[in-house]
Structure 1
Amino acid sequence: MASHIQMPGPVCLIENTNTQLVVNPEALKILSAITQPVVVVAIVGLYRTGKSYLMNKLAGQQKGFSIGSSVQSHTKGIWMWCMRHPKKPNYTLVLLDTEGLGDVEKGDNQNDSWIFALAILLSSTFVYNSMGTINQQAMDGLHYVTELTDKIRAKSSPDANEVEDSADFVSFFPDFVWTLRDFFLKLEIDGQPISADEYLENSLKLKQGTSPKEKNFNQPRLCIRKFFPKKKCFIFCQPTLLENLCQLETMHDDELNPKFVKEAADFCSYIFSNSKVKTLSGGIQVNGPRLETLVLTYVNTISSGDLPCMENAVLALAQIENSAAVKKAMAHYDQQMAKKVQLPTETLQELLDLHMASEKEAIEVFMKNSFKDVHHLFQKELGDRLEKRRDDFCKDNVKASLDRCSALLKDIFHSLEEDIKQGVYCKPGGYHLLIQTMNKLKKKYLQEPRKG
């Protein structure tokens, strides 16, 4: 059962070799088996900021996603962990942990921005993890957001004069959650206590002015405000004493700062209750196989040097699903006809009636399984294939009728031929007897059913 997908630990979904991004077939195989809609939570942030610890918390496990205790970035590429959703049994939770951004050893900023873009394209909730306060450095870590319109397209061929509307992006962008780690300030403005969400909103305020300094300050804030209509902020105090941080993976809740434990529990509870199913334009819910197609489409596009395009990804998905829907519909038609039809049928109309009943069911199967068949191309293909099947059935019916009639004639008139050979009718009154026998045999032939 797809609802019981239970991976013992995470697997690499997209490997970053530092020169290219490579999809792991083992991970795709896991996704292809998930028939439920998926809630996809991705986390990004600078390396060594404790992203993996939070993802392990969401997985309900002490260990899983790699937590490095040195200054090296541990997670390369994007790692995936699928599990039963703890609060919504009809959904599967897919956690995506990304490699740390800004790792000096990589020396290639380009890959960072693709990892960031993929996390946004694949997730329904996007968690940005940073240390300390929301200061300019934390905002600079989000400079990838400002590059997104250069990295992603919503439409396959926007008009030359048309700049893509941010509404096109908002329609598929995930919800945004900012997690601030080791936060040490008092949450207040002008002496008045504020919530973490209010702190975030206040930090996203723009500065007046048009100088390069103001522009640099405003740009990431503008992008976050524009692209992520739903925003949430969580703050975490330091989990334990500085010297114990390298053992965080092995420490139990009762050994950690109780305030941190509560903050982590609140974060998990919010994600479980509020993270939505991943959906595509038109409200199409994404399940495992659809997520698999999105991963392949985006990574192949990036590898070929193109920009990932939402519209093309949906088209690729439609191609796969509608081809499968045609196959399913034809298999249903063949199954029904095999069950109902015995050739030859008594009349042609009887065959056509059976065909029409099976055709109607096949079209229903197609409609149930098809996806964004905008120009009805796949429905037309199904119609053509059903028409050909009907014509083949009619030809087979004529042949079956000829074969049955020939066999019947041979069988019924065999005794008459034998009698003629034996000279049974070469005697007085023989002609009358022959006509009588022939009429009797003709009657017998005409009374035989299903000659077509």
Structure 2
Amino acid sequence: MASGLSMRAPVCLIENSNGQFMVKQKALQVLTTVTQPVVVVAIVGLYRTGKSYLMNKLAGQKTGFSLGSTVQSHTKGIWMWCVPHPKKPNHTLVLLDTEGLGDVEKGDNKNDTWIFALAVLLSSTFVYNSMGTINQQAMDQLHYVTELTDKIKAKSSPKTKQMNDSTEFASLFPDFVWTVRDFILDLEINGQPITSDQYLEIALKLNKGTSDEARLCIQKFFLNRKCFVFAPPAPRKKLKYLEKLHDDELDEDFVESTKNFCDYIFSNAKAKTLSGGGVVTGPRLGHLVLTYVKAITNGDIPCIENAVLALAELENSAAVQRAITLYEEMMRKEVHFPTETIQELLDINVICKKEAIQVFIKDSFKDVNQKFQKSLETELEAKLEDFCKQNERKSLERCRALLQDIFSPLEKSVKQNTFYKPGGYGIFLQKKQELIEKYNQQPKKGIQAGKALEEYLKSKEAVAAAIKQADQTLTAKEREIKEQQKKAQAAAAAAKELEILIWKQEQMNLENEMRQEDELRQMFANMEVERRRILAEQEREQARRLQEQAQSLQELQMSTAMPLNSNVRSRIFRSNFLTVTQEVTVIYCEEKSFTFSFT
């Protein structure tokens, strides 16, 4: 509940219907909104003693809690009014007005005892309101306090000594304020003035030789005690209109006592705390109400320790959930999936985990052996594991989408049989490596980048193997074709070379023939020249011989006086010329390595 807001009127917190207690949900819903520490002031006392008037004054209102003006008890059960604390910022004042004790209409005082016990259990300041003086009759009417040890347990373990319980009660019970209404005596003893507090302490002293259990219980259970006495507020005829009267219409002493009472409560009433030091807030107070009323309804004795442990169980469980929720919110805000490294995620986890544990420690109490904190740490480890898995999942999703985008051109080329050719596997590997490098250069892939790439490449191994097999098969065929082409080319080259050789040989033969013909022509020319020379020589020789012969013949003729005719001379010349020609031709042919025959 915000400090500037308050309830417009009281609501019933615990309804008492036919001796049965029931917690009202409307009041619990109000308490759930009170997140501040609560100062709980409960008032009990006999019915028709003006309890509600004091509670209205504490609320700062003239009306609210029903005052009533007849002998019939108006308030049934316990009513609650939450108002901003007038002197303690960020605190809420919770006022509990109880039904009057000793109502003859109830028949027995069993309910009164439980109302008294609940007021003690729920309050941080307990106000007991009575009439007249603090005398033995007043003590007898306060017999409910003597039954607290039977109605309330401090510990869940069996009690050993009542004194031990009394000590526990003293540390857990609220401060005690006794308000004495319509007090008309003078506060003095033996002629000396005393304070109202001294008056209370004197009244609580045990008389020698007597055993006044009520006095003893008040002394043992309530260590912090305070007393206020109130003069009658107004003449009896005006009491039924008390809530409508202004202060100037009331008794001055009553008005002053009321102011002092309210000032004391505002200044000294402490916030409600639990054993172990936990501060009570609205939701915690609501849980205590439910726990105690449930125990009473079930016929059990309300146990303060069990109530605190149950509240601690509930609160610490809620604190664990709040811490986990905070951790998850911080992690979702700070972690940008996928993280580049696992360490990045772990570093953020350290910060968020520390903050979550601090929130838990702030909201929790009575965490025995750090049971819930250890549970929280276990939960946070599990949450971290979830975030790590989520980080891996986000990384895989990112990487798989990235791989599909980057490698889609390659996959398209595979479908188009681009690489199903000799040498295609090498081209495929080169293209694949280029795309792998492109993938590795992409940012924000996360910690599963390597795994995603490995999975993708493994999924394409069959395709790569098919391309490789096709490449090997086609390459072998191409090699075979090339070998055949090479052999054919070699055979064609050999045939061409042979053809060239034949052509060259023919050319050489032709050249040789031509050369031989030239040589023959030259030889014959030379022979002709030689022949002519020889003929010329022969002719000269013949002429010389003829001349010699003629001379010889002449000489012979002259000696015989017998002349030769021309035919004889011609035959002699011709015979000599052929003989000479044959000799010359044979000589020339031997020099030129030619053989000729003459006929």
Superposed pair shares fold, TM > 0.5: yes
Any unmatched runs of 5+ in structure 1?
Answer: none
Q: In 1, Cα distance between the equivalents of 2:268 and 2:350?
A: 47
Residue of 408, 420, 429 corresponding to 2:402: 408
- 2:283 maps to 1:292: no
1:145-164 to structure 2, matched below 5 A, reads: 145-158=145-158, 164=164
1:286-325 alpha-carbon deviations (Å, 9 max, x no partner): 1111111111111111111111111011112111111111
- Give the aligned residue type for 1:345: T
The corresponding residue for 1:331 is 325
For the residues of structure 1 that align with 2:182 and 2:295, how far apart are their CA atoms?
38
Q: 1:229-378 residue pairs with structure 2 within 5 A? A: 229-378=223-372
Give percent identity, aligned residues only: 64
Q: Check 1:447–1:190 CA distance in 2 against 1; reply closer, same or farther (3 A cut).
A: same
| Aligned residue identity for 1:388 | A
CA distance in 2, matches of 1:426, 1:94: 87
**For residues 438 and 32 of structure 2, what CA distance do their matches in structure 1 show?**
60
CA contact (8 A) 1:5 1:82 kept: no
Compared with structure 1, are the counterparts of its residues 369 and 253 closer, same or farther at alpha carbon in structure 2 (3 Å cutoff)?
A: same
Q: 1:433 offset after TM fit, Å?
A: 4.3
Which residue does the alignment assign to 2:167?
167
Structure 1: distance between partners of 2:71 and 2:149: 32
TM-aligned CA distance change 1:364 to 1:423, over 3 Å: same
Higher radius of gyration, 1 or 2: 2
CA positional deviation for 1:363: 2.0
Give the unaligned 5+ runs of structure 2: 448-599
- Paired position in structure 1 for 2:181: 181
Distance (Å, rounded) in 1 between the aligned partners of 2:422 and 2:243: 114
Matches of 1:237 and 1:278 in 2, distance apart?
30
Q: Quick one: higher RCO (CA 8 Å, sep 6+), 1 or 2?
A: 1
Tell me the equivalent position of 1:97. Answer: 97
Q: TM-score, normalised by structure 1?
A: 0.93
Partner of 1:39: 39
Give 1:423 deviation, angstroms.
Answer: 4.8
Q: Deviations over 1:368-413 (max 9, x none)?
A: 2222111322222222222222333333344444444433333222
Greater helix fraction, Structure 1 or Structure 2: 2
Give the CA deviation at 1:360: 2.7
Q: Deviations over 1:48-77 (max 9, x none)?
A: 111111212222222111112111111111
- Measured in 2, the distance between the counterparts of 1:155 and 1:420 equals 80
Which amino acid in 1 is paired with 2:442? E
Report the Cα offset of residue 435 of structure 1. Answer: 4.1
Aligned positions of 1:425-444 closer than 5 A: 425=419, 433-444=427-438
* Number of corresponding residues: 446
User: Hey, what's the Cα distance between the residues in 2 that align with 1:27 and 1:434?
Assistant: 77
Residue 31 of structure 1 and its aligned partner are, at CA, apart by: 1.1
Q: Structure 1 residue 5: deviation in Å?
A: 3.3
Deviates further, 143-152 or 282-291 = 282-291
Alpha-carbon distance in structure 2 between the residues aligned to 1:165 and 1:426: 94
Task: Give me the whole-angstrom Cα distance separating, in 2, the residues matched to 1:333 and 1:252.
Answer: 56
TM-score under structure 2 length normalisation: 0.71
**Corresponding position of 1:110:** 110
> How far off its partner does 1:160 sit?
5.5
**8 Å CA contact 1:3, 1:34 repeated in 2:** no
**Deviation per residue, 1:257-279 (Å, 9 max, x gap):** 22221221121112111111111
Matched position secondary structure for 1:128: strand
**Equivalent AA in structure 2 for residue 258 of structure 1:** E
Report if the CA contact (8 A) 1:158-1:164 is conserved.
no
| CA RMSD in angstroms, aligned pairs only | 2.1
